């Protein structure tokens, strides 16, 4: 049974750490909380100072239970706790005893909370077991491994722009995983961690807006419209993107479209492929003595080649494998040494991950020889020489 204690008088008898833990939960529940104790520990004192509880600085009296809906007694004195419990029983007030669960008329479970989901766990009189179980349930809720999606409809719609990371389903954030588990609609990119879609309920709407080089079947304006339309229909929408939504992912445009339409939108950062894919091949984008900075570049738009060639750090090109030969030639023509190390990392953390290295003079030929293709990240700079591919995350 879950009790709505908002505005209802609840009494905590005792001023120590156990009483403080009980009081904090009761204050969070919005109760009209009264603490009865000659002295209180620091957490209770803070709670009282913040106006979350009132304090009667004295020993317990029978009249303290007048008007109470619930009482927790945790004085550490068995006789006092027993007296409080007996008087609560006579007054038909539920009483939780911290000293003797078997003698209690009510028990406090260990509680796991994620958003508006509350799971109470009873350990069968064993608080340690209840806490251990609660921690496991909490972790499963936070990771999205347990179902979080409401079954009953209603409520306002919303949009979450979720960065899914470089593609491995284990590299999405816990917050992103939670939102995905709660979604009514998922609008998904080609490079998002699509394996996670297998865990969705059958009635979740999945809209594929994936793009390939030169082929954009769903224009960005239409994607924006879909997000707004579904949210305005009262649905929880997750826009699942590869990498980070705000790193060459057009997430900013989608967020603006939602805000202009009055749709609540939140952004959940992701592990950007600009950093993670080189790392999958053992290439750090910064390295002491080699590079103090890195520049992330869209590999298929008009670029300021002289500025890039003059860069003192690492260059990371996204979406640029098809124009690799032009990129290398333009950098050399703008003054970068043809001997500058370069690398192509394909399908980072994916089943066909592959690293091809060379220099600006020959990287395009080397990549063509092995048939390099998207998705791939190009790295230019001395950090390429550090590459020592670690085991791929599984």
**Catalytic amino acids?**
189, 211
Q: Distance (Å, rounded) from C-alpha 86 to C-alpha 24?
A: 24
What are the residues whose beta carbons fall under 8 Å from the beta carbon of 311, sequence distance 6 or more?
A: 293, 295
For the chain, give the secondary structure using H, E and C: CCCCCCCCEEEEECCCHHHHHHHHHHHHCCCEEEEECCCCCHHHHHHHHCCCCEEECCCCCHHHHCCCCEEEECCCCHHHHHHHHHHHHHCCCEEEECCCHHHCCECCCEEEEECCEEEEECCCCCHHHHHHHHHHHHHHHHHCCCCCCCCCCCCCCEEEEEECECCCHHHCCHHHHHHHHHCCEEEECCCCCHHHHHHCCCCCEEEECCCECCECCCCHHHHHHHHHHHHHCCCEEEEEECECCCCCCCHHHHHHHHHHCCCCEEEECCCCHHHHHHHHCCCCCCECCCECCEEEEECCCCCCHHHHHCCCCEEEEECCHHHHHHHHHHHHHCCCCCCCEEEEEECCCCCCCEEEEEECCCHHHHHHHHCCCCCEEEEECHHHHHCCCCCCCC
What is the C-alpha separation between 75 and 13, in angstroms, rounded?
6
Residues facing 297 on adjacent strands: 317
Main-chain phi, psi angles of 107, to 5 degrees: -135, 150
Distance between CA atoms of residues 194 and 213, nearest Å: 19
């Amino acid at each position: 049974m879950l009790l709505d204690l908002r505005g209802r008088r609840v009494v905590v008898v005792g001023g120590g750490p156990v009483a403080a833990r009980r009081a904090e939960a009761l204050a969070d529940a919005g109760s009209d909380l009264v603490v009865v104790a000659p002295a209180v520990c620091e957490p209770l004192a803070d709670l009282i100072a913040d106006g979350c509880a009132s304090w009667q600085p004295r020993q317990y009296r029978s009249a303290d239970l007048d008007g109470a809906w619930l009482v927790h007694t945790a004085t550490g004195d068995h006789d006092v706790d027993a007296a409080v419990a007996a008087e609560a029983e006579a007054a038909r007030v539920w009483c939780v005893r911290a000293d003797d669960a078997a003698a209690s008329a009510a028990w406090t479970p260990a509680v796991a909370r994620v958003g508006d989901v509350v799971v109470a766990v009873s350990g069968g009189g064993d608080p340690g077991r209840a806490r251990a179980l609660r921690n496991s349930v909490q972790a499963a809720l936070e990771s999205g491994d347990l179902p979080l999606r409401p079954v009953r409809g209603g409520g306002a719609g919303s949009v979450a722009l979720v960065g899914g990371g470089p593609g491995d389903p284990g590299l999405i954030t816990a917050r992103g995983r939670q939102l995905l588990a709660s979604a009514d609609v998922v609008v998904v990119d080609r490079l998002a961690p699509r394996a996670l879609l297998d865990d969705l309920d059958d009635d979740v709407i999945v809209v594929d807006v994936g793009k390939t080089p030169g082929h954009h079947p769903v224009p960005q304006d239409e994607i924006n419209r879909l997000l707004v339309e579904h949210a305005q229909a009262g649905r929880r929408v997750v826009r699942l993107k590869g990498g980070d939504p705000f790193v060459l992912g057009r997430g900013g445009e989608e967020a603006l479209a939602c805000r202009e339409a009055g749709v609540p939108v939140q952004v959940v950062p992701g592990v950007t492929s600009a950093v993670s894919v080189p790392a999958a091949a053992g290439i750090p984008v910064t390295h002491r003595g080699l590079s103090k900075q890195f520049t992330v570049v869209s590999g298929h738009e008009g670029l300021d080649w002289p500025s890039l060639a003059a860069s003192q750090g690492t260059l990371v090109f996204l979406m640029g494998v098809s124009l690799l030969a032009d990129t290398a030639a333009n950098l050399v023509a703008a003054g970068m040494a043809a001997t500058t190390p370069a690398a192509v990392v394909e399908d980072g953390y994916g089943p066909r991950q592959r690293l091809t290295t060379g220099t600006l003079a020959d990287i395009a030929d080397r990549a063509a020889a092995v048939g390099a293709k998207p998705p791939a990240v190009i790295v230019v700079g001395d950090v390429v020489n550090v590459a020592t591919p670690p085991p791929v995350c599984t």
